[in-house]
Structure 1
Amino acid sequence: MSSSERELERRAKHKLAVLRHAEEVSGSVAATCRYYGITRTCFYKWRRRYEEEGFEGLKDRSSVPHHQPNKTDPEVIEKILWLRQQYHFGPHKIAMYLQRYHDVTISPSGVWRILNKVGLNRLPASQRYKRTQTRWKRYEKQRPGHQLQVDVKFIEPLGQTGKKKRYYQYTAIDDCTRVRVLRAYPRNDQRTAIQFIDHVLSRLPFQVEQVQTDNGQEFGQSFHWHLLDKGINHVKIRPRTPRLNGKVERSHRIDSEEFYRLLEGEVIDDAKLFAERLQQWEDHYNYDRPHGALGGQT
């Protein structure tokens, strides 16, 4: 028996004791009501229910109103729970998605109340934000193309047998607009990095002034001089400080949570098919996905 059921049982026994007190002790409904501090209307209601339904009739009933004109539609609740469980979105991001894709207006606090009611108000420990004191100060460039952050994410499709294939997702994100360019390659070297940066420059609708990378071997001297030859400055972050490349690192976490995790271990060992899937995800990220950093805009 759960704690709530035990509490219902305890309260029902108390009501039965009140009814028996009137019959066996005081002999007066008014005296019993004064003794227990209840109204006679309440006493007679308990007695009527006890006569009609027995002990079960004394258990507390739901206090939910019969008519709730402002109650959230069950379909909206289903969408909220699906976004929470599937993507681990918070109340603000869920409200953004409902407004953008379903034309449903609901406040973040309203989303939180629904999540709290079903016990989904707290994320798994790995998905929670750090305390405010330990977060790094946010910054962003004010002009498109002022700086690109570039990084590489290692990918190995799950469920492979035999000789396993691996890919390297090259990612470039504009510091101002958050526009990203993605490309998957079977190698990770300077030649590949140069191919990727040429692809990025051909895709972006604005001029790039500076590229920021970590200290990986793929961003070595050949890559560095290739950028300088194109009139683009190349800077590297301090060793062991990935937070300085925070936007591209955070976007890789979004890739893991909203793209790779949903593949559910699907084996994609064809480079062309993988590139198509990645391109679809890039388009969704750039043109459809609401961004919290941009106030829900794309």
Structure 2
Amino acid sequence: GISRACASKWMARYREHGELGLLDRPSVPHHQPTATPAETVTRIETLRRSRKWSAARIAHELGADGISISVRTVSRHLAHLGLNRRKFLDPNGENNRQPRRIIARWPGHMVHVDIKKVGRIPDGGGWRVHGRGSEQAKKVDRAKTAGARAGYVYLHSAVDGFSRLAYTEALSDEKAVTAIGFMHRARVFFAAHGIVHIHRVVTDNGSCYRAKDFAKVLHGGRHQRITPYT
């Protein structure tokens, strides 16, 4: 069930190498004209270990020295070298990234925006306080059956990093349209207290803040998204 050329190839391998010639071979070509030179790979490893630069920074520095290489190629070599994570650079495996404080210089310089999801607590407390099967727990269950609102409420908050002036609303969800409406009302609140221009809005990477329409509430300010330090 094989071609004459395939049978001839396997016979030639057996005559030249014996049974070892019948083992599977890698499909990597013998010659790769576009492969990254070994000297460049060595420079990538050296810059990563000594400077702890990202793939984008390494590609930029190599480009300044006349070595044209893409960020994706640098990332691939870092992964092959086992250096794609910053914590891999430390012998003990710990993360060597140091947290930096975000300092506001004047009112409106940085406004921190975030959402806190909290559960609605019924009047008098829930079963966690009174226990399951208690009269209070049964009362709460009857109220839910009768149509009382349950679930969660989302506290949208905006805090000026310099004056600590804060504005909070309890809203029904954390969708983009809700966050945008909150930011418009927060701007009115801050303007009424003398903060007429917000230079930077600091948020996390929540989906509502990544929405394209959220950029409209910046009014020329900078949107800085941060992730928690771990």
When normalised by structure 2's length, the TM-score is: 0.36
